[in-house]
Structure 1
Amino acid sequence: MKFYPINLNLKEKKVLIVGAGKVALRKFKQLLLTEAKIKIVSPEFNQGFESFLKRDSEQYNFQKRKFRNKDLLGCFLVFAATNNSELNQNITFLAREKNVLVNTVDNAEISNFTVPAIVNRGELLLTVSTGSSLPALSKNIRKKMESDFGIEYQLLLDIMSENRAKLIANIEDDKLRKNIFRKIAASDFLIKIRGIIDNYDPQILENGNYNLKKTEYLALKEEIKKEISYLIARAKNNQNLEL
């Protein structure tokens, strides 16, 4: 089966998860990042949901009961994630009748879509799929991507998201601007960013611990922004030689 890759904007969209086991918990945590409106229906909940069950949130709500057909009303996306294959199949067919996108966690053949293995680094989203043929391989590739693509990508894209429009406005020469952007995106500049991070705190890269305090994250951003400013200044000074 061939799938068409797509990134969905789920902000404010209604998403239903039926089931609340380990698989449903993973789906739920990923969906939280999308700002979707999430409803989870299940008679029982995995203990991983406990901290969420104790909170009040406008983004999600939990229904401790069995699935009802009316749960599908107004939904944009549905995950049939119970431990009952027959129930998952019934939910899937009901959703498809209503033209609602549905993923059946134990049956890719009847799903409208599958969810790839994901690595998030801020605005950088990396995905890998093996077409449901060998999920263990997807998992192994994801681990490699987590190692290869560190927090330097997140920091750089965060800075560029905030400053791209300003750079475009301030650098009128189209060729020079493209040259600067190429240099910022180049692997040697990302290596330089890793050096900045390593000088700040070697433990960040050694342990792969990217849960930085806000003050640490902002301090690193300032150091990287200085390096970008130096890069731009050098490119402007040497533009006649480099373009």
Structure 2
Amino acid sequence: MKFYPINLNLRDKKVLIVGAGRVALRKFKRLLQAGAQIKITSPEFNQEFLPYLNQESEKYIFLKRKFRDEDLNGRFLVFAATNNSELNRRIAFLARKKNILVNTADNAEISDFTLPAIVNRGELLLTISTGSSLPALSKNIRKKMESEFGIEYQLLLDIMSGNRGNMVENIENNQLRKNIFRKIAADDFLIKIRDIIDNYDSQILANDNYNLKKSEYLALKEEIKKEITYLIARTKNNQNLEK
């Protein structure tokens, strides 16, 4: 294994991106979702940055100029994403001297880390990496996983994030609690969630529409909560019958 897998908490961490092409844009969008404080320096910006350039935000700053050494000051991560390999190498060298982790878009060998392909369903984050040997394979695997892991995982984890604490507190029997969690995480329960979604609106599954309107999402959550409540009661009753 060439790389050590790790999930970083980048909320409010200062990150620098040098370059503003399509590669930089992808990195920017993912960093924005992670809550990082982003600075981008580049003489030119890809037109897809335009919506962000036209609005102010506390989360990012764009500097339309060439990279300066002092841009590295106080940064937690650096992405060298220019179309100039020599500049990317220089940024990597300077960042390493300052003990800043760096990723270069065109050279994994001089990078401290690489970015895997991801499938994101709310709190479920699946990553795929081929060690930079064949990124196209990572993309193919990601597409397969996108169809296999749907919105049911997002809904279930969203519900459990708000209810797990209460379940732990209210179900004193340790073995019963484990049994309930296993049943909630089992394939047949996830299939049941898909059936609920399908009965509610089959197009949600057919179109991979994971950006539901708030009212739709809340309605689905309530239906699934009822199923979880029923499952907990049934599991408790079964255990009492076994005594």
Q: TM-score, normalised by structure 2?
A: 0.98
Q: How many residues align?
A: 243
Unaligned runs of 5+ residues in structure 1 are none
* Alignment partners' CA distance in 2, 1:46 and 1:239: 61
* Alignment partners' CA distance in 1, 2:174 and 2:144: 37
- CA 1:52–1:185 in structure 2 vs 1: closer, same or farther (change >3 Å)? same
- CA 1:178–1:67 in structure 2 vs 1: closer, same or farther (change >3 Å)? same
* Alignment-derived partner of residue 144 in structure 2: 144
Task: Report matched runs for 1:70-219 at 5 Å.
Answer: 70-219=70-219
* Alignment-derived partner of residue 238 in structure 1: 238
* Alignment partners' CA distance in 2, 1:206 and 1:239: 38
* Alignment-derived partner of residue 8 in structure 2: 8
**Helix, strand or coil at the partner of 1:238:** helix
How far residue 99 of structure 1 moved from its aligned partner, in angstroms, is 0.4
**Helix, strand or coil at the partner of 1:16:** strand
- CA 1:242–1:189 in structure 2 vs 1: closer, same or farther (change >3 Å)? farther
1:112-165 alpha-carbon deviations (Å, 9 max, x no partner): 000000111000000000011000000000111111100100000000000100
How far residue 47 of structure 1 moved from its aligned partner, in angstroms, is 1.0
1:208-233 alpha-carbon deviations (Å, 9 max, x no partner): 11111010011100000000000000
* Alignment partners' CA distance in 1, 2:59 and 2:87: 26
How far residue 62 of structure 1 moved from its aligned partner, in angstroms, is 0.5
Structure 1: 4+ residue segments shifted above 3 A: 240-243
The residue identity in structure 2 corresponding to 1:233 is A
RMSD of aligned C-alpha atoms? Answer: 1.1
Moved more, 74-83 or 206-215: 206-215
Q: How much identity, in percent, do the aligned residues show?
A: 79
The residue identity in structure 2 corresponding to 1:177 is R
* Alignment partners' CA distance in 2, 1:92 and 1:241: 65
* Alignment partners' CA distance in 2, 1:178 and 1:121: 24
